């Protein structure tokens, strides 16, 4: 019965879980001219702002986010790569790292050259090394996109040069970026403001800066700084058909945000930097990522246990452990989050046993559920399964007595059990002998009766024959 109740409880919790709950905050009121834009909480994946998120667009060099992830997951950064003809883009006019046919350098250098300098030549060299060919790597890219659920995108090149049939949606790129952000090595690379390239013979210094201006704090005199102190990555892009793009990330006070901007048509792509900073500030100022278990733990739950022994700890009051049964994190309006953490959260307890909990109770036993609500508006914030934090003995709880291990009697013991076993065997033997005697006596009586009958019948026959002879 108890197991059935627990199963029903789990089913109810599963059916009533909330998913990705966002509490309303003021809408973003800034001007957005770029074609496709998104702002998301990178921890929960919740969308805080979007424009044309499902429209198919050219991704330009933000394609390299996928190229980087596929390479990191299928190759070793210490691999030595010999650049082939596909990696030599000399004189092409595109954004290049500057590698040459036949040159040898590590995959690590190529990836930094692709993600920081945005080298199309580096992307091509990486693709051939990892996928065997540009076509083979494209298959790997599309397979990964399919695994991630990027249903509105298709990839042909590893670098993102405008190509018919090579397209994405901002929503798909958000899915990809959220996935990539979980890779620590990826974030280490894309968060670097600069990198030293030991194998390269640049005309100036060996150190090259990231094309993501949100990461660059030391700009030359006379240039405009777009530095954003909370920026952590990720990748820029620019082609004639994609215009200017940036997929950027930022973190402040434990909250991580992702901003995607595609189709910035301003000269030099200045809007993408200003818009990204504005959207980040909007997100950090109005929202907060809340740890649901921490919220639950801020509201202690306890119940009185009926029938507890008089000397029970805490007078029979049992504190309950609450285990979150929903999502791990939620995105909340900052004002709501502050109110909840300052006592604005209440718990409604439902016990499996009904109106009261009765002793005895064992530590860890599931005893019920709790629904946590916002006291201001009654909205459900979280749900939890409740378990007993300790044992509670009952007044009528039987006292367990030790049970001695049964041992087979042995002749050497000389104990009373051996005597009783002997007497029992003798008694059984007497019963058998007595029974056999009765059966034999009965059989003897039957034989005597049958003999008497046969003798009587013989006499009768002789007498009858004698009388017949006298008559003749």
Closest to 323 measured CA to CA, from 380, 392, 389, 393: 389
| Residue 45: CB atoms within 10 Å | 14
Six-digit token string for 264 = 């910035």
Long-range Cβ contacts of 294-299 (<8 Å, 24+ apart):
295/340, 295/341, 295/345, 295/372, 295/381, 295/382, 296/322, 296/324, 296/370, 296/372, 296/382, 296/384, 297/322, 298/341, 298/345, 299/345, 299/346, 299/347, 299/372
47 Ramachandran zone, left/alpha/beta (phi>0; psi -120 to 50): beta
Closest to 116 measured CA to CA, from 204, 186, 38, 58: 186
Tell me the helix, strand and coil percentages in the chain, rounded to 5. Answer: 40, 25, 35
Q: Supply the residues annotated as catalytic.
A: 61, 64, 118
Q: What are residue 96's phi and psi, to 5 degrees? A: -130, 155
Q: Is 145 exposed, middle or buried (0-12, 13-18, 19+ CB in 10 A)?
A: buried
Query: How many Cα atoms occupy the beta-carbon half-sphere of 316 within 13 Å?
Result: 15
| Residue 78: CB atoms within 10 Å | 8
Distances in Å between the Cα of 416 and the Cα atoms of 403, 408, 411, 413 are: 20, 13, 11, 9
Q: Virtual CA dihedral for 351, 356, 357, 358, nearest 10 degrees? A: -150
What are the E-state strand segments in 113-190?
168-169
């Amino acid at each position: 019965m108890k197991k059935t109740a627990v199963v029903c409880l789990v089913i109810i919790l599963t059916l009533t879980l909330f998913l990705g709950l966002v509490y309303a905050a003021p809408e973003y009121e800034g001007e957005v001219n770029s074609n496709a834009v998104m702002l998301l909480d990178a921890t929960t994946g919740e969308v805080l702002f979007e424009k044309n998120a499902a429209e198919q667009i050219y991704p330009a060099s933000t394609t390299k986010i996928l190229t980087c992830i596929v390479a990191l997951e299928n190759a070793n950064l210490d691999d030595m790569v010999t650049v082939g003809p596909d990696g030599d883009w000399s004189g092409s006019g595109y954004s290049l790292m500057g590698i040459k046919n036949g040159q040898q350098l590590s995959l690590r250098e190529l990836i930094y050259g692709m993600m920081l300098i945005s080298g199309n030549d580096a992307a091509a060299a990486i693709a051939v090394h990892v996928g065997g060919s540009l076509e083979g790597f494209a298959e790997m890219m599309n397979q990964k996109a399919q695994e991630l659920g990027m249903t509105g995108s298709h990839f042909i090149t590893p670098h993102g040069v405008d190509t018919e049939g090579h397209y994405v949606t901002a929503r798909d790129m958000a899915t990809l970026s959220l996935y990539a952000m979980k890779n620590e090595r990826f974030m280490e690379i894309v968060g670097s403001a600069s990198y030293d390239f030991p194998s390269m013979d640049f005309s100036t210094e060996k150190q090259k800066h990231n094309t993501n201006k949100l990461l660059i704090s030391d700009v030359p005199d006379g240039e405009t700084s777009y530095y954003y102190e909370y920026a952590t990555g990720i990748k820029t892009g620019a082609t004639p058909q994609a215009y200017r793009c940036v997929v950027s990330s930022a973190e402040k006070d434990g909250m991580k945000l992702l901003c995607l901007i595609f189709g910035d048509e301003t000269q030099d792509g200045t809007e993408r930097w200003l818009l990204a900073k504005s959207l980040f500030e909007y997100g950090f100022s109005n929202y907060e990522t809340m740890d649901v278990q921490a919220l639950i733990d801020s509201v202690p739950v306890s119940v009185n246990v009926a029938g507890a022994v008089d000397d029970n700890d805490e007078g029979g009051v049992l504190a309950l452990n609450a285990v979150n049964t929903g999502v791990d994190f939620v995105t909340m309006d900052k004002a709501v989050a502050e109110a909840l953490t300052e006592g604005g959260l209440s718990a409604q307890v439902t016990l499996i046993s009904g109106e009261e909990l009765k002793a005895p109770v064992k530590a860890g036993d599931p005893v019920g559920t709790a629904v946590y609500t916002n006291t201001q508006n009654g909205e459900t914030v979280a749900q939890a399964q409740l378990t007993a934090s300790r044992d509670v003995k009952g007044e009528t709880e039987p006292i367990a007595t030790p049970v001695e291990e049964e041992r087979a009697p042995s002749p050497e013991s000389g104990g009373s059990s051996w005597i009783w076993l002997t007497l029992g065997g003798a008694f059984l033997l007497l019963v058998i002998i007595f029974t056999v005697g009765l059966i034999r006596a009965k059989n003897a009586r039957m034989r005597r009766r049958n003999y008497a009958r046969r003798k009587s019948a013989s006499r009768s026959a002789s007498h009858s024959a004698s009388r017949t002879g006298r008559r003749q």
